[in-house]
Amino acid sequence: MKELLRLLQLFRPYWRAMLAGIGLSAAVVLTNVALLAVSGWFITAMALAGLGMGTINYFTPAAGIRALAIIRAVGRYGERLVTHDATLHGLAELRGWFYQHLEPLAPARLQFYRGGDLLSRIRADIDTLDNFYLRVLAPSVAAAFSVLLMTAFITLYSGPVALINLAGLLAAGLVLPLWAQWLGNAPGERAVSRRADLRAAVADSVRGLGELEVYQASARQAATIDRLGAELIAPQRQQARIDGLSSALSGLASRLTLWLALLVVIPLVASQQLGGADLAMIAFFVLAGFEGVAALPLAFQSLGETFAAARRIFEIVDAEPMVTDPSHEADLPAKFDIEFKQLRMRYAPDGGWALDGIDLKVAAGARVAIVGPTGSGKTSLFNVLLRFWGYQEGSLDLGGQPLTGFSGETVRSWCAVVAQQTHLFNASVRDNLLLACPDASQDALIAALRQACVYDEIAALPQGLDTLVGEIGARLSGGQARRVAIARALLKDAPILLLDEPTEGLDVTSEQAVLQALEALMIGRTTLLVTHRPQALRYVDHVVVLGRGRVLEQGKPAALLQGGQYLPSYASIN
């Protein structure tokens, strides 16, 4: 019931279109029943008139049959158009709504989910919700309305027949669907879960295909995918069995209802309380009435899958971000100096301190390098400063005001980041640059690329700035990708610059080109540079050594270097 109410709330903006679709669905059902019933009556009445057993007005029922046929065809088209339009618009809005709730969870909360699983939620699970309106809500409401009108109509001819018909319709349209739902809940939930696991495994396999080939693990991964596929087929096979059984029982209910109705009507015809043509009309009426409920068992069977998909979506939507934004933001800082005061931070309540009493002050416009061994807390500083993660003790001030007084979006608008793992989208160089400044002109893009020392290389590509960079920038070298990221940071023109191992993994030539580009980027910006590379320290004014989440020492770069290499006492930071 909880998921049902939330789904109704999600589709609320489209209630007019949804009601129109339900109305058209009911009209199509009633028109189809009327068409078959009138046709049966007309053919029988014509035959009886031919035998001299009465007279008939040919033109009126013939025109009525033509009108009903036209109305049914137009109504069916209109019903498909309206219901599908409402559903597709609703699903499109749902994806945007889901993404809006997903974005505040990045990156802290999303580390608990696989990328393929998130893709499955935003695509397959939301697609599954189309069952709710198209196959359950609209047909159910239309069927209920149609059954009431059909029962009222058939009562005019025979009360017992109306009761028999109502009982048959309730059995096929209420009891049988609820039974199918009960049977289909468990396999539906398993199907959604296994489908998500399979999509995630396939996405991971494609992304890591190179490593699988290198370590000769492709066969094992293929076996895993086969196993997941078999686990998905099992609940789908069970759902197919339920579908087949419910369809057979629905057909049985309609035939039994027809048989019982005839047992009542035939004596009425024999006693001339009803005409012979009425017998055919009632028989066709009873059979045609089951069209409105025939699809409900299969629809209700899929409710288990629909609700399982809805729960997976609501799980993300209801998740709390790691960092809560303030209700009212503080005033814009006059300058962008950064000060950590006895700051302590950990990633889990029972985990160790990633930052354990950090005291650090970075003046506005200063260039500070953060060095230390792996696990010393360098990246954690950035996570806290970008408001990706919160801190538990101490304070962090930006421009003399608490960082917690600003929303994460506001803080990140003041920061440009160049990281070791530079993410370039599978789009053109131009599109990747415009991510930082959508209104940037061609001249501005070229100027940024020149400052990043990569314009000549980009211009030499087949389509220049319009060249597609491939998945994660695969068509560019590591140095080129890093410098494109620097150009993107230049376009953002943020007052704070965060550099996280920007030259890691590059050869000497690429490293030198990146460092030259970074030198231009640092000018006038408050800069924090996390690095293991001694060459990068030539471009900063101050060095902070971290260890076990604490500041061990601070000083000028010359205090750590001799001949371009770390002094022996600092060898552990490399």
Domain boundaries, the chain: 2-317, 338-573
Query: Any alpha helices (H) in 271-350, and if so which ranges?
Result: 276-289, 291-294, 296-301, 303-317
φ, ψ for residue 55, nearest 5 deg: -120, 165
Query: What's the pLDDT score for residue 568?
Result: 63
pLDDT given at position 261? 92
The answer, yes or no, to whether residue 509 has pLDDT greater than 60, is yes
What pLDDT, on a 0 to 100 scale, did the predictor assign at position 566? 66
Rounded to the nearest 5 degrees, what angle is found at the Cα of 15, between the Cα atoms of 11 and 19? Answer: 125
pLDDT, residue 526, reads 92
pLDDT in tens, 458-497: 999 888 899 888 877 778 887 888 888 888 888 888 899 8
Widest pairwise Cα distance in the chain: 121
CATH of domain 2-317: 1.20.1560.10
Grouping H, G, I as helix, E, B as strand and the rest as coil, residue 334 is coil
Is a pLDDT exceeding 80 seen at residue 23? yes
Q: What is the pLDDT of residue 128?
A: 83
Q: Is the pLDDT of residue 386 over 80?
A: yes
- Please state which of the ranges 99-108, 161-170, 234-243, 326-335 shows the lowest mean pLDDT: 99-108
Question: How far is residue 358's CA from residue 383's CA, in Å, rounded to a whole number?
Answer: 14
> Secondary structure of 497-552 in the HEC alphabet?
EEEECCCCCCCHHHHHHHHHHHHHHHCCCEEEEECCCHHHHHHCCEEEEEECCEEE
Tens digits of per-residue pLDDT, 233-290? 999 999 899 989 998 999 999 999 999 999 999 999 888 888 888 899 999 999 999 9
Neighbours of 571 (CB within 10 A): 10
Tokens at residue 497, please?
């610059």
Highest mean pLDDT among 57-66, 79-88, 335-344, 415-424: 335-344
> For all residues of the chain together, what is the average pLDDT?
86
- Return d(Cα 540, Cα 522) in angstroms, integer: 9
How remote is the C-alpha of 501 from its chain's centroid? 32
Q: Give the residue among 385, 325, 332, 321 at the shortest CA–CA distance from 355.
A: 385
Structure letter (DSSP) for residue 469: -
Q: What is the pTM of this model?
A: 0.73
Q: For position 192, what pLDDT does the model report?
A: 87
Give CA 561 to chain center in angstroms: 50
Whether the per-residue pLDDT at 565 is higher than 80: the answer is no
CATH assignment of 338-573?
3.40.50.300
Structure tokens at 394: 């101490």
Nearest Cα neighbor of 265 from 250, 279, 281 is: 279
Give CA separation, 10 vs 4, 127, 211, in Å. Answer: 10, 14, 42
The rounded distance, in Å, linking the Cα atoms of 540 and 554 is 13
Task: Please calculate the CA angle 272-277-280 and round it to the nearest 5 degrees.
Answer: 115
Highest mean pLDDT among 54-58, 292-296, 356-360: 356-360
CB atoms within 10 A of CB 557: 17
**Cα 255 from chain centroid (whole Å):** 44
What pLDDT band is residue 567 in, cutting at 50, 70 and 90? low
The pLDDT value recorded for residue 254 is 92
Average pLDDT over residues 313-331: 85
Exposure string of 386-411, with b = 16+ CB inside 10 Å and e = fewer, is: bbbbbbeebebbbbeeebbbbbbeeb
Whether the predicted pLDDT of 417 surpasses 70: yes
What single-letter DSSP state applies at residue 54? -
